[in-house]
Structure 1
Amino acid sequence: MNALNSRTALAACVLLLPMLASAAEPGDALCKADEEVVFNCFTGKKTASLCASPTEAALTALTYRYGASGTVENEFAATPENGRFFSGTVSPVAPRAWVSQVWFDRGNFRYLMTECVGGDCPFHAGLAVIKGEKIAMNASCKRPPGVRLPAFSRELVKFGSKPDDSMSSTSLLRIEAVDNLVYELYKSADK
C-alpha cells in the first residue's frame, strides 16, 4: 500500500470510529450513562425512553427521549427548576386488565407511554400521540432479542388499579384521573 492510500485508509478509520462506537442497537434506551431507565419502548423503527436522573435526596430530572439509533428527535425534560412535570394515571380496559399511562403535553399534542397489566391485554405496552380528541399516532412496543418488554419502574411510580390507589415517588410525575382515549388506543394499535 502506498503512502497516499495508507493515509486515506487511516483517515477513513479515524472518521468512522466515533460512529461505530456510538452506534445503538434497535431498542437500546436513549438514556444517558448517569440516568436510570424507567420505561423503554421499541416500536420496530423508533425508541422512546423515559429516563430518571436520581440523587440520594430525590430525582433531579425526568426526561423523555424519542428517536432512532441514538438520534433524539423529540425530548421533554421535567425538573424542579423548569416547572414542567409528567402526568400519570391508570384505567381499566378489559376484564382483569388495566393500563398504566405516563404522558406530557406539548402544545396541542399529548405524548403518551402505556403499559397494560393483566390477563386480557391485547398488547403489553405502547406509545401514542393524541391531538385534541384524535389519535395522531399509536404503536405497540416490540421486543428486540435480549430486551425485556417495558414496564414503568416501581421506584418511579406504583400504579394501583385506579388513580386513587397509585402513588408517584416524585413531584415530577403527578397522578391524575384522565381517560386519554385508552379504550381506542388499546383497540386500534398496530399489534
Structure 2
Amino acid sequence: MRWNKPVLAGLLAASMAQEASAQLCTPDEAVVFSCQVGAKTVSLCRPQGVRGQLAYRFGGRDGVEMSFPRAGARAAGTGPFGLSTTPLFGGGVTRVVFDRGAYRYEVYSKSARADDAERTPYTEDGVVVKRGGKTMWHLVCDDGGAGFREELGWLPRVDAATR
C-alpha cells in the first residue's frame, strides 16, 4: 500500500494527539511518566522548568480520581517521593515510590529478558499499590511501557522494600 504524504501526516498527527491526551498533567507541567491501564490513566507530572517536584495523578475520562499531593496543591518536593532501582538480567526496574496514608505506591518501568529459551527482551510499566507490604493492586500499562520520559537521579534514593 502506498501512502501519500498528507494522509501519512494526518495519521501521525492523530496518533500524537491521542498520545498527548493520554496523560493527566496540566499544560504548565512536563509529563515524566504516563500510560493507560484499561480506561484509566496514570501520570507523574513535574512543573515546567522546575526540578525537584512531582505530582502523581490517576483517573479516567471523567477527570482525576486521585492526586498526590491532593488536587489543587503544588507538586510536592522530593520529600514524599523516592527513587528505587533493582538490576535484572538484561535490564532493571526503576520505581518512583511514595506513601499516602497506609498505602505505598510504586510507579515502575521494567526492562528485562524473559525466562524462555530465547531470553526474549521485554518492557513493562505500571503501578503497584501496597498496604502493610501486601500488594493490593498491580496495574500494568496496556502499551507495555514507554518508561520514564526523563532522568530521575535528582530524587532521593530509597529501598522500596523498607520504605
Q: Report the TM-score when normalising by structure 1.
A: 0.61
Question: Of 62, 87, 93, which residue of structure 1 is paired with 2:82?
Answer: 87
Instruction: Say whether 1:176 aligns with 2:158.
Output: yes
Counterpart of 2:113, as a letter, is G
TM-score of the pair, normalised by structure 2:
0.70
Distance in 2, matches of 1:91 and 1:114, equals 11
Write the mapping of 1:88-103 to structure 2, written as runs, cut at 5 A.
88-93=83-88, 95-103=89-97
Alignment partner of 2:28: what SS? Answer: coil
Query: Aligned pair 1:137/2:137, yes or no?
Result: yes
The alpha-carbon deviation at position 118 of structure 1 amounts to 3.1
Quote the RMSD (CA, aligned, Å): 2.7
- Greater percentage in helix: 1
CA distance in 2, matches of 1:62, 1:70: 22
Q: CA deviation at 1:141?
A: 0.4
The structure in which a higher percent of residues are strand is: 2
Structure 1 CA distance, aligned partners of 2:80 and 2:158? 12
Task: Look up the match of 1:153.
Answer: 149
Corresponding residue number in structure 1 for 2:110:
116
Q: CA deviation at 1:70?
A: 5.1
CA distance in structure 1 between the partners assigned to 2:134 and 2:122 by the alignment: 20
Percent identity at matched positions? 31
Q: Which residue identity lines up with residue 145 of structure 2 in the other structure? A: L
Give the letter for the 2:156 counterpart. R
Aligned partners of 1:115 and 1:152 also within 8 Å: yes
Gaps of 5+ in 1: 1-23, 158-166, 181-191
Query: Matches of 1:112 and 1:88 in 2, distance apart?
Result: 9
Q: Deviations along 1:120-165, whole A, 9 cap, x unmatched?
A: 366511111000121000021012xxxx93311334x1xxxxxxxx
Rounded Cα–Cα distance in structure 2 between residues aligned with 1:60 and 1:70: 29
| Residue of structure 2 equivalent to 1:62 | 54
Change over 3 Å in CA distance of 1:153–1:175 after alignment to 2: farther
Deviation, structure 1 residue 39: 0.3
Q: Over alpha carbons, which structure has the higher Rg?
A: 1
Alpha-carbon separation, structure 2, partners of 1:109 and 1:136: 9
Q: SS in structure 1 opposite 2:27?
A: coil
